[in-house]
Homo-oligomer: A and B are copies of this chain.
Amino acid sequence: MTHRIAIIAGDGIGTEVMPEGIRALEATAKRFNLDLEFTTFEFGSCDYYLEHGKMLPDDWFEQLKGFDALFYGAVGWPDKVPDHISLWGSLLQFRRRFDQYINLRPCKLMPGIKSPLAGRKPGDIDFYVVRENTEGEYSSVGGKMFEGTDREVVIQDTVMTRTGVDRVLKYAFELAQTRPRKKLTSATKSNGISITMPYWDERVVEMAKGYPEIAVDKFHIDILTANFVLHPDWFDVVVGSNLFGDILSDLGPACTGTIGIAPSANINPEGNFPSLFEPVHGSAPDIAGKGIANPIGQIWSGAMMLEHLGYKEAGDAIVTAIEEVLSEGDATVLTRDVGGEGTTASLGKAIANAI
Inter-chain CA distance A220–B99, complex, in Å, is 24
**A255 and B243 in contact, given A142-B195, A144-B199, A153-B159 (Cβ under 8 angstroms):** no
Contacts of A177 in B (CB 8 A): none
Inter-chain CA distance A40–B158, complex, in Å, is 40
Inter-chain CA distance A151–B160, complex, in Å, is 11
Which of A116, A153, A242 gathers most chain B CB within 10 Å?
A116
Tell whether, in the assembled complex, residue A156 and residue B191 are in contact, meaning their CB atoms are under 8 Å apart. Answer: no
25 pairs across A/B with beta carbons < 8 Å? Answer: A76-B191, A84-B194, A116-B117, A116-B118, A117-B229, A138-B194, A142-B195, A142-B196, A144-B195, A144-B199, A149-B162, A154-B159, A154-B195, A154-B199, A155-B160, A156-B194, A156-B196, A158-B158, A192-B243, A221-B246, A222-B249, A225-B254, A226-B254, A229-B229, A251-B251
Contacts of A348 in B (CB 8 A): none
> Which one of B117, B144, B222 lies within 8 Å of A247 (CB-CB)?
B222
Tell whether, in the assembled complex, residue B251 and residue A230 are in contact, meaning their CB atoms are under 8 Å apart. Answer: no
Chain A positions 191 through 228: 1 when the CB is less than 8 Å from some CB of chain B, otherwise 0: 11111111100000000000000000000011101110
Tell whether, in the assembled complex, residue B247 and residue A193 are in contact, meaning their CB atoms are under 8 Å apart. Answer: no
Which of A116, A155, A191, A193 gathers most chain B CB within 10 Å?
A191
**A84 and B190 in contact, given A117-B118, A196-B154 (Cβ under 8 angstroms):** yes
Inter-chain CA distance A248–B151, complex, in Å, is 28
Contacts of A161 in B (CB 8 A): 151-154
Contacts of A227 in B (CB 8 A): 254
- A178 on interface, CB distance cutoff 8 Å: no
Contacts of A160 in B (CB 8 A): 153-155
Contacts of A83 in B (CB 8 A): 190-191
Inter-chain CA distance A192–B246, complex, in Å, is 10
The chain A residues found within 8 Å of chain B, CB to CB, are: 76, 82-84, 87-88, 92, 114-119, 137-138, 140, 142-144, 149-163, 189-199, 221-223, 225-227, 229-230, 242-243, 246-247, 249-251, 253-255, 259
Contacts of A76 in B (CB 8 A): 191
Contacts of A247 in B (CB 8 A): 221-222, 225, 247
Inter-chain CA distance A223–B227, complex, in Å, is 17
Tell whether, in the assembled complex, residue B226 and residue A225 are in contact, meaning their CB atoms are under 8 Å apart. Answer: no
Contacts of A230 in B (CB 8 A): 116, 254, 259
CB distance from A166 to the nearest CB of B (A): 9
Inter-chain CA distance A189–B139, complex, in Å, is 13
Closest 9 CB pairs between A and B?
A: A226-B254, A83-B191, A222-B250, A152-B162, A156-B195, A142-B195, A118-B118, A225-B251, A156-B196
Tell whether, in the assembled complex, residue A143 and residue B195 are in contact, meaning their CB atoms are under 8 Å apart. Answer: yes
Inter-chain CA distance A163–B150, complex, in Å, is 7
Q: Which residue of B lies closest to A242 (CB)?
A: B192
Which of A118, A140, A249 gathers most chain B CB within 10 Å?
A118
- Give 6 new A-B contacts, CB below 8 A, not counting A84-B197, A149-B162, A222-B247: A140-B195, A143-B195, A150-B163, A154-B161, A155-B195, A222-B246
**A138 and B193 in contact, given A116-B230, A144-B199, A247-B247 (Cβ under 8 angstroms):** yes
Contacts of A254 in B (CB 8 A): 225-227, 229-230
Q: Which residue of B lies closest to A78 (CB)?
A: B191
Inter-chain CA distance A155–B151, complex, in Å, is 24
